[in-house]
Amino acid sequence: MVRAVVIPAAGRGTRLSRRTRDLLPKALLPVGGQPLMVRNLQVLKDLGVSRIWLVTGAHRTPFQDLVRTFEVQLVHHEHWERGNGETLRVGLEAAFREVEAVGVLMSDHLYAPVLLENLVRGSHRGNVLWMDPFVQDVLDLQDAMKVRRTPPALSKTLELYEGVDIGLFRLEADILPFFVQVQQAGKYGIAHALEAAMQAGILRLQNVPGPGLWLDVDTPEMLEAAERWVRRQGLM
How far apart are the C-alpha atoms of 123 and 118, rounded to whole Å?
8
Calculate the CA 225 to chain-centre distance.
18
Q: Are 145 and 165 in contact (CB under 8 A)?
A: yes
Which pLDDT score is estimated for 219? 87
Q: Which stretches in the chain have pLDDT values below 50? A: none
Query: Residues with Cβ < 8 Å from 119, sequence gap 6 or more?
Result: 2, 103, 105, 130, 168, 170
Angle between helix 84-95 and helix 176-184 axes, rounded to 10 deg: 150
**Domains in the chain, start-ordered, CATH in brackets?**
4-232 (3.90.550.10)
Q: pLDDT tens across 173-223, in order?
A: 999 999 999 999 999 999 999 999 999 999 999 999 999 999 999 888 988
Which pLDDT score is estimated for 20? 60
Q: What is the pTM of this model?
A: 0.94
Which pLDDT score is estimated for 211? 95
